[in-house]
Amino acid sequence: MTQQSEVHLFTDGGCSGNPGPGGWAFLLCHPATEKKLENSGGERETTNNRMELTAVIEGLAALKKPTLVELFTDSVYVGKGMSEWMPKWKANGWKRKEGKKLVPVKNEDLWQRLDQLLQTHQVQYTRVAGHSGHPENDRVDELAVAAYQKYL
């Protein structure tokens, strides 16, 4: 069995207003080779949560083969969604409990795309405190903000 390569994925998403113009960004780092890849994008009208999810999806989609990934994000929504909520949502047909009834999961399209990527890559979630002087997290925050600035 060949050893999977291991990468660090730093992601961030944000909006000016929620909803409002939004941006996402990722930074992939390969610790063994120190190679880096970053990308970002934006949308005219979106939400913080959609941008946080998009950043992770775009980062994972940039990987060309199954990879061991440590995901660093300040988004509790993404982290808990991946590690706690998604298995229940899938079991309930992408629905979540609200009171006593099941309602559609918000951002279902993005959660399903993320779920597909999680079938390919082995992802471990590490929470990073936002705006805490973490260099890579600060970098993706800067890129995400720059990505939505053009819509202001």
Rounded Cα–Cα distance for residues 57 and 52 (Å): 9
pTM over 0.85? The answer is: yes
**Residue 71 near residue 124, CB atoms below 8 Å:** yes
Note the pLDDT tens digit of each residue in 35-89: 999 999 999 999 999 999 999 999 999 999 999 999 999 999 999 999 999 999 9
Rounded Cα–Cα distance for residues 145 and 147 (Å): 5
| DSSP state, residue 62 | T
SS3 state of residue 32: coil
Active site residues: 12-13, 52, 74, 131, 141
Tell me the three-class secondary structure of 78-134, residue by residue.
HHHHHHHHHHHHHHCCCEEEECCEEEECCCHHHHHHHHHHHHHCEEEEEECCCCCCC
- What pLDDT is attached to residue 132? 77
pLDDT band of 5, cuts 50, 70, 90: low
Output the CATH code of domain 6-149: 3.30.420.10
- What pLDDT is attached to residue 134? 83
Residue extents of the structural domains in the chain: 6-149
